[in-house]
Amino acid sequence: MAADPVTTTAPAPGAEYADTASAAYRAALQVIESVEPRIAAATRKELADQRDSLKLIASENYASPATLLTMGTWLSDKYAEGTIGHRFYAGCQNVDTVESVAAEHARELFGSPYAYAQPHSGIDANLVAFWAILATRIEAPELAAQGAKHVNDLSEADWEKLRNKLGNQRLLGMSLDAGGHLTHGFRPNISGKMFHQRSYGTDPETGLLDYDALAAAAREFKPLIIVGGYSAYPRRINFAKMREIADEVGATLMVDMAHFAGLVAGKVFTGDEDPVPHAHVTTTTTHKSLRGPRGGLVLATEEYAPAVDKGCPMVLGGPLSHVMAAKAVALAEARQPAFQTYAQRVADNAKALADGFLKRGARLVTGGTDNHIVLLDVTSFGLTGRQAESALLDSGVVTNRNSIPADPNGAWYTSGIRFGTPALTTRGFGAADFDRVAELVVDVLTNTSPEGTSKAKYKLADGTAQRVHAAAAELLEANPLYPGLTL
């Protein structure tokens, strides 16, 4: 059978593919080692650590060797500020090719009329989107009213007036404890300093998004932008309804699909649950469930495309051409039929994990999941999220603590643990494996107790960490990471 370049396992790459990747990585590490051996050692150790732990962080995954190798090239050495065919530096013809291919794959994969591949991260993608919306909705009409083509054509008085308008717009986003993200207008983040922000939440009884309450908040607040999307909401969203709400109040609908982009690309989310046909602007990271390099994308309608295309130098510095090349490779992988199979397994495995928790008496926010996220309320174990996270890490289970709705412990200690299935699904884990993972997690949490009144200190019963480590090792050995890859 020919090697499958999309998956790292299931089906595993053939011997020829694994041997080629092994030779490439060994050679690269030898070159690095000749200059700074500590970096080579840390890189080798990172692979060993990832192979030996149950990675359940919802925002992490394992990129293919092809994607990873693409980042380590001389494309890194080229400045290319501007955009395709319109650079501020000479000699960018190869970068134009790279960016064009990445944008082409993104457009075709997501069915978007326009794609921008330059953002370095999810926050950069959101900043580009925010400023593109401001430029389209506020700046452009103001320039037209003044008979100006560029902001430099404005008088100082008119420029100050425009600056005040740009800095006093309203944004409505999902609250943090309901599963929203810091970049959706919260004060510690730059987005919260840019906008007058208000949050919408979830139903206090069900934990589900309340569209009627969202509509009422939008009518009262009259935001310029409504942000959809989440980082810790374990359910799907009806983006057609969100667009109706946005249109009613004259808002731009921006959707941050960083977490679930892989489920959109893999056609698990379609119709009203696919944000791209409904949003004016859609942002995403390219890692997480999309299984690419760390970076971002912006998708947009034709109305907003010209402003998004000015992301550099409006918000971004010089694009990372080597990472754009890796995005192109990962997006090409995601266009293959095998990726749709993978995406469906991610969702199926999340349900298996949730069911595994529920049948063992654990409490889940919203009572389950229909995406890739499972959010466990650990207060029933008498723990804070921080205590649970640390005890699980001691036992070889890598997760992250997370707020839950109306969290009594706040955003630092939290009362929840967020689990995600993309990474272990990449390794080949199936439903039975995730049921076993749920059993191991409950074992750890049942045998963990708070130490005194501290929200951070805890005591793990003797033998628990060793027992769970051993059981996890059996699962990991049966589903190896980058099988055949040797350093």
Active site residues: 79, 81, 256, 285, 288, 294
For residue 309, the one-letter residue type is D
Residue whose tokens read 């906008």? 195
Distance CA 68, CA 173 (A): 34
Distance CA 388, CA 263 (A): 28
Distance CA 129, CA 281 (A): 7
Can you tell me whether residue 226 is helix, strand or coil? strand
Decide: residue 364, CB within 10 A, 0-12 exposed, 13-18 middle, 19+ buried: buried
For residue 97, report the phi and psi dihedrals to the nearest 5 degrees: -65, -45
Provide the terminal-to-terminal Cα distance of the chain, rounded to the nearest Å: 24
464-478 and 431-446 helices, crossing angle to 10°: 170
Secondary structure (H, E, C), 275-328: CCCCCCEEEEECCHHHCCCCCEEEEECCCCHHHHCCHHHHCCCCCCHHHHHHHH
Distance CA 393, CA 381 (A): 17
Distance CA 251, CA 137 (A): 10
Can you tell me whether residue 232 is helix, strand or coil? coil
For 10, which DSSP code? S
Exposure string for 65-82, b = 16+ CB within 10 A, e = fewer: bbbbbbbeeebeebbbbb
Asked if residue 154 lies in contact with residue 143, where contact means CB atoms within 8 angstroms, the answer is yes
